[in-house]
């Protein structure tokens, strides 16, 4: 039936609802107001950008994202189908040929990806005892979701991310090639690795991005191993520390950037909830740091700005580290 437009036309009085949301138990507070949709990208101020640019000394660029291609590691409910749509015959007196491409994919949730704030939420008990299905800043499934994309918390709200990036090289600290699947990185690990790298914890200031090397990108060309189920990663402890350090984004060289399986009975991707839903912090997945690690390049300008697909839950990305 044709009535989709009709069904979707019932709009919600957001402002009124925002007030209602004020009565909720929002975490830890609302740094940028009850209607904010940009989350921790608000921390990328002009001053922050200028300071980050000053980190560039030689102009050496590191590609820390993967190429998007057929057969790359993916969850088994996602697809990446790119097709060439070529002109068969030349056209015009100047004999032009052209090619287009058509892509059908979970474009913001395959390969190197920037998870937006509409990607992960949870069913949460509010102060009045009600259970509500909420995402960052208390936006509810009901007011966010429409068939043709998110009405709230779409990726287009994220501000450009050019900031100081800090890489935490965990295998180098642990003296291994890569961490084992299922290993939860502790805060002590993070502090030890930073110390080894000569980076003071206190130097991590609001708006920075902290990236974790687990060594997992070594498996990128082996999709079955890459996504075998057991993944090294941070847990709630480090996630809370990231929130305290007021970072803008974190990232890692696995598909989740958090330990899997999660600790706790029946718990699923709690780091995602902690970062995105509670703190508006972005998560970048399927990165690769092998080159940075080989050159002991632990501090850099990070450029990691998502594409503004209106209403998308995430974005493909070409993240760059520059020194």
Positions in 48-67 near its own copies (CB under 8 A): 48-50, 53, 56-61, 63, 65-67
Neighbours of 18 (CB within 10 A): 16
CA 119, CA 240: separation in Å to the nearest integer?
19
> Would you call 130 helix, strand, or coil by DSSP?
coil
Which of 150, 234, 293, 297 touches its own copies by CB under 8 A?
A: 150
Q: Of 310, 261, 255, 260, which Cα lies nearest the Cα of 116?
A: 310
Residues 254/170, Cβ–Cβ less than 8 Å: no
The single residue listed with the structure tokens 């949730």 is 109
Q: What tokens does 82 get?
A: 């790119």
In sign, the C-alpha dihedral spanning 129, 130, 132, 137 is negative
Question: What's the residue count for the chain?
Answer: 323
Neighbours of 254 (CB within 10 A): 26
Q: Is 16 in the site for its own copies (CB under 8 A)?
A: no
Closer residue to its own copies, CB minimum distance, 131 or 294: 131
Q: Of 213, 215, 218, 201, which Cα lies nearest the Cα of 167?
A: 213
Q: Is 188 in the site for its own copies (CB under 8 A)?
A: no
Closer residue to its own copies, CB minimum distance, 118 or 171: 118
- N-terminal to C-terminal alpha carbon distance within the chain: 56
Q: Is 183 in the site for its own copies (CB under 8 A)?
A: no
Window 108 to 147, contacts with its own copies (CB under 8 A)? 108-109, 115, 118-124, 133, 135, 141-142, 144-147
Window 158 to 177, contacts with its own copies (CB under 8 A)? 159-160, 162
Closer residue to its own copies, CB minimum distance, 29 or 77: 77
Q: Is 15 in the site for its own copies (CB under 8 A)?
A: no
Closer residue to its own copies, CB minimum distance, 33 or 92: 92
Binding mask of the shown chain, residues 89 to 108, with x at each position contacting its own copies by CB under 8 A:
xxxxxxxxxxxxxxxxxxxx
The single residue listed with the structure tokens 């697809």 is 79
Task: Identify which range of 5-13, 24-32, 212-220, 242-250 contacts its own copies by CB under 8 A.
Answer: 5-13
Which of 15, 16, 33, 148 touches its own copies by CB under 8 A?
A: 148
Total binding residues toward its own copies, as defined by CB under 8 A: 121
Instruction: Write the Ramachandran bin of 21: left for phi over 0, alpha for psi from -120 to 50, otherwise beta.
Output: alpha
Q: Is 25 in the site for its own copies (CB under 8 A)?
A: no
Closer residue to its own copies, CB minimum distance, 197 or 218: 218
Window 200 to 229, contacts with its own copies (CB under 8 A)? 227
Window 244 to 303, contacts with its own copies (CB under 8 A)? 255-257, 260, 264-270, 272-273, 283, 285, 301, 303
Closer residue to its own copies, CB minimum distance, 174 or 318: 318
CA 153, CA 108: separation in Å to the nearest integer?
14
CA 322, CA 281: separation in Å to the nearest integer?
22
């Amino acid at each position: 039936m044709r009535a989709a437009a009709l069904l979707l036309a019932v709009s919600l009085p957001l402002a009124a609802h925002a007030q209602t949301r004020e009565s909720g138990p929002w975490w830890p507070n609302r740094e940028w107001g009850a209607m904010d949709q940009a989350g921790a990208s608000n921390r990328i101020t002009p001053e922050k950008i200028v300071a980050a640019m000053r980190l560039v000394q030689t102009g050496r660029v590191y590609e820390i994202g993967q190429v998007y291609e057929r057969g790359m590691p993916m969850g088994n409910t996602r697809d990446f189908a790119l097709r060439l749509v070529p002109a068969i015959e030349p056209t015009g007196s100047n004999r032009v040929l052209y090619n287009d491409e058509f892509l059908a994919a979970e474009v913001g949730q395959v390969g190197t990806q920037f998870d937006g704030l509409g990607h992960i939420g949870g069913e949460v008990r509010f102060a009045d005892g009600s259970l509500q299905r909420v995402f960052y800043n208390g936006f509810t499934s009901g007011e966010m979701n429409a068939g043709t994309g998110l009405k709230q918390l779409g990726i287009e709200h994220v501000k450009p991310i050019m900031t100081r990036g800090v890489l935490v090289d965990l295998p180098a600290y642990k003296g291994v090639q890569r961490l084992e699947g299922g290993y939860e990185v502790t805060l002590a690990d993070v502090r030890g690795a930073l110390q080894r790298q000569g980076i003071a914890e206190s130097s991590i200031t609001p708006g920075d991005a902290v990236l974790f090397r687990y060594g997992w990108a070594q498996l990128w060309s082996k999709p079955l191993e890459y996504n075998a189920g057991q993944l090294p990663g941070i847990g709630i402890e480090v996630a809370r520390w990231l929130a305290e350090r007021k970072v803008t984004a974190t990232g890692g060289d696995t598909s989740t950037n958090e330990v899997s399986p999660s600790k706790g009975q029946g718990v699923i991707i709690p780091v995602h909830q902690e970062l995105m839903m509670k703190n508006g912090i972005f998560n970048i997945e399927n990165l690769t740091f092998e080159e940075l690690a080989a050159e002991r390049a632990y501090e850099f300008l990070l450029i990691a700005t998502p594409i503004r697909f209106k209403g998308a839950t995430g974005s493909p990305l070409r993240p760059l580290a520059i020194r």
